[in-house]
Amino acid sequence: MFQGETAITVDDKGRVAIPTAYRELVARECGNRLVITYNPFEAGSLYLYPYAEWERVRDSVNKLPSTRMAHRQLQLKLVGAATPVELDGNGRISVPASHRSAVGIEKKAVLLGMGDKFELWSEQAHHAQIRRTLSDEDLSEHMLDLRL
């Protein structure tokens, strides 16, 4: 559904424009509604889910028993911090100040289409991830059969 990398600017009000290529898809498939929440696995980025996909993720995360610390952390970062947003008439969404501050998003950011969701990265965190290379020790058995 979503793929690609786009450098974007965050305006003074904390708004980012969804790239034009995605706007019709977001309008049609998501009713212009997305949900912003923290990426629980990577520092420096947020997840932006289409609303229907978010409901699936939310329900599966909330079913986890909260007696385990890892489950509570996942519930806190994904569900507890989730904020619904809608594209305005100019195709922009407002990213809450608390979310921007927590992941270090300032004036420049990078939006990645990751299939079923977007990831919104601080420019610095994205550059650090891209510069990081995979070593043989990083490869899982699932990766060994990939033909890249």
Residues 16 and 120: beta-carbon distance below 8 Å: yes
* Model confidence, pTM: 0.91
Digit-coded pLDDT (tens) for 106-131 = 999 999 999 999 999 999 999 999 99
Sorted by where each starts, the structural domains of the chain and their CATH numbers stand as 2-144 (3.40.1550.20)
Render pLDDT for 8-37 as a digit per residue (tens, 0 to 9). 999 999 999 999 999 999 988 888 999 999
Task: Return d(Cα 51, Cα 31) in angstroms, integer.
Answer: 8
Q: In Å, what is the CA distance from 7 to each residue of 14, 34, 61, 80, 140?
A: 15, 19, 30, 28, 30
